[in-house]
Amino acid sequence: MIQALRGTRDILPEEVGYWQLIEQTAREILTKAVYQEIRVPIFEQTSLFERGIGEATDVVGKEMYTFTSRGGKTSITLRPEGTAGVVRSYIQNKLHAQGGVQRLWYTGAMFRYERPQAGRQRQFHQIGLELIGSDAPRADVEAIAVATEILQALGLKNLSLDINSVGRGEDRQKYKEALVAYLEPYKAELDEDSRDRLTRNPLRILDSKDRKTQEIAQDAPKIIDSLSDSSKRHFDTVLNLLTDLGIDYQIDHCLVRGLDYYTHTAFEIKSNDLGAQATVCGGGRYDGLVAELGGPDTQAIGWAMGMERLVLLLQQLTESPVNTPDFYLVSRGAVAEAQALLLSQKLRQTGFTVELDLSSSAFGKQFKRADRSGAVACLVLGDAEADNKTVNLKWLASGEQKAIAQAELLGMTEELKTRIAELRQ
């Protein structure tokens, strides 16, 4: 039997309610803040990610699914994240020509060659936001606030916001020298990746997952001590505005994004209920990226949330939301079954959810299925009802029932909706 590939999984109907809840909640909150959805391709030229994420990162260095196109000329990569493609699209479609800021969001599958475990897959899904065209600290805070609002609306608890500033290129250059000078004497004790990064990308050593390296990094000089006055001001303003909004944070001096086009704010939202894969949302400012990818000098900030991790958290909190019908339609006999099919369609057209029993089996069996379906009411059509164009309406919770003309049933939409809403409470 052919099985799904390692690191991929099926999202079955019993779980999909969580996904729909996340998508719907995020869409509502993003729409209220006038973010527009953007849909970009799932594969792009490899060079987009090499330039847009950076060759010195794990994602580009070790995790990309890259292959050559059939023609044999173009190197193609399945997107490992959303920002690079959105920024490419922003530049290619000249969205900057519209002036002002672009507030964009996306959702979809991402691909990274990783070691699969709970909350870490090879095909995974993100919801992401990009706010392009503003350098204001308020933009950073708006982006963070939208993220926290989504997480709150989902009912998630035990979340914490870690934040840091990586300043501008000049600040980082100064900091890199101080950091390397501090780390050099410990070189032999660092993990292999970190030793390698000492020359290529020393900032990334700070977020090494190796225990010993983390210990050494604890006492390293802090990047905020290398910030220029204006970078420091940006950071302080962001922190003050977060406080104004009642959003708690901790400064994490080891939270960095090591590449030149990442600037100022870097942040992560973590959960205490997820074990090792604790980060549900990661983001930051990327004032240099649009220019790096060939666009005009444009400041921006964005974040991405891992949907699998949100589902894991929701599963700890609530049952999967299920879509139960308003009406379960039971029928038996050729004429009755034909009328039931028509009636189910008409009821749906007036806004009800209706499940039609297709079995033609004995009424008793159909009634059992009606109960299992979770429907609010059952509609029964037999030969007698078919003859005089009526239907038997039975409220499943109370067992109360009455015969009613089909045409009349279709005319009492509001009354039925109110009753169903009450019974669903």
Does 126 bind ligand ATP (CB under 6 A)? Our answer is yes
- How many residues interact with ligand ATP (rule CB under 6 A)? 17
Tell me if 372 is assigned to a ligand binding site: no
The half-sphere exposure of 280 on its side-chain side, counting CA atoms within 13 A, is 29
Q: Residue 119 corresponds to which amino acid?
A: G
What whole-number distance in Å separates Cα of residue 343 and Cα of residue 347? 6
**C-alpha dihedral, 286 to 290 to 296 to 297, nearest 10°:** 20
233 in a known ligand binding site: no
- Choosing from 51, 103, 112, 197, the residue that interacts with ligand ATP (CB under 6 A) is 112
230's enclosing H/E stretch is helix 229-244
Distance CA 196, CA 205 (A): 9
> x/- string (CB under 6 A) for ligand ATP, residues 175-194?
--------------------
Binding of ligand ATP by 306 (CB under 6 A): yes
Site membership for ligand ATP, residue 121 (CB under 6 A): yes
Identify the residue among 52, 282, 295, 302 touching ligand ATP (CB under 6 A).
282
237 is annotated as contributing to ligand binding: no
* Subset of 330-389 contacting ligand ATP (CB under 6 A): none
Give the range of 116-124, 246-254, 405-413, 414-422 binding ligand ATP by CB under 6 A. Answer: 116-124
385 a known binding residue? no
Considering only 172, 309, 332, 394, the residue that binds ligand ATP (CB under 6 A) is 309
Is 78 or 378 the residue whose CB approaches ligand ATP more closely? 78
If binding is defined by CB under 6 A, does position 277 make contact with ligand ATP?
A: yes
Our CB check for ligand ATP shows the closer of 139 and 151 to be 151
Return the bridge partners of 412, or none: none
Q: In what order do the strands lie in the sheet with 43-45?
A: 43-45, 75-78, 66-68
Q: Is the CB of 79 or the CB of 394 nearer to ligand ATP?
A: 79
* Of 68-76, 84-92, 300-308, 381-389: span binding ligand ATP (CB under 6 A): 300-308
Residue number, nearest CB to ligand ATP: 306
DSSP secondary structure code for residue 44 in this structure: E
Residue-by-residue DSSP string for 112-170? -----BTTB-SEEEEEEEEEES---HHHHHHHHHHHHHHHHHTT--SEEEEEEE---HH
Structure tokens at 23: 């998508």
Query: Helix or strand or coil: residue 421?
Result: helix
Which of the ranges 133-141, 195-203, 223-231, 280-288 carries the binding residues for ligand ATP, by CB under 6 A?
280-288
To ligand ATP, the closest distance from the beta carbon of 60 in angstroms equals 11
By the rule CB under 6 A, 130 interacts with ligand ATP = no
Please name every residue paired with 403 in a beta bridge, in sequence order, or none if there are none: 392
250, β-bridge pairs: 162
Residue of 146, 224, 280, 376 that binds ligand ATP (CB under 6 A): 280
Rounded to 5°, angle at Cα 360 from 358 and 366: 80
126 is in an annotated binding site: yes
Tell me the closest approach of the beta carbon of residue 154 to ligand ATP, in angstroms. Answer: 14
Among 45, 214, 279, 353, binds ligand ATP (CB under 6 A): 279
> What is the Cα–Cα distance from 7 to 414, expressed in whole angstroms?
48
265 lies in the site for ligand ATP, by CB under 6 A: no
Q: According to CB under 6 A, which residues from 78 to 107 bind ligand ATP?
A: 81
The minimum distance between CB 218 and ligand ATP, in angstroms, equals 19
| Nearer to ligand ATP among residue 83 and residue 331 (C-beta) | 83
Rule CB under 6 A: say whether 302 interacts with ligand ATP.
no
Q: Cα separations (Å) of 377 from 338, 341, 363, 403, 406?
A: 20, 17, 15, 13, 15
Question: What is the layout of strands, in order, in the sheet containing 102-111?
Answer: 36-37, 102-111, 123-132, 300-306, 279-285, 263-271, 159-165, 250-251
d(CA 293, CA 47) in angstroms, rounded, equals: 10
Pick the piece of the chain touching ligand ATP (CB under 6 A) from 33-41, 96-104, 114-122, 235-243: 114-122
Nearest to 245 by CA among 152, 165, 106: 152
The C-alpha atoms of residue 311 and residue 392 are separated, in whole angstroms, by 41
Q: Does 304 bind ligand ATP (CB under 6 A)?
A: yes
Among 15, 23, 114, 273, binds ligand ATP (CB under 6 A): 114
* Residue 124 near ligand ATP by CB under 6 A: yes
Contact between 289 and 87 under an 8 Å Cβ cutoff? The reply is yes
Annotated binding site for L-histidine: 81-83, 112, 126, 130, 257, 261-262
Which positions touch ligand ATP (CB under 6 A)? 81, 112, 114, 119-121, 124, 126, 277, 279-282, 304, 306, 308-309
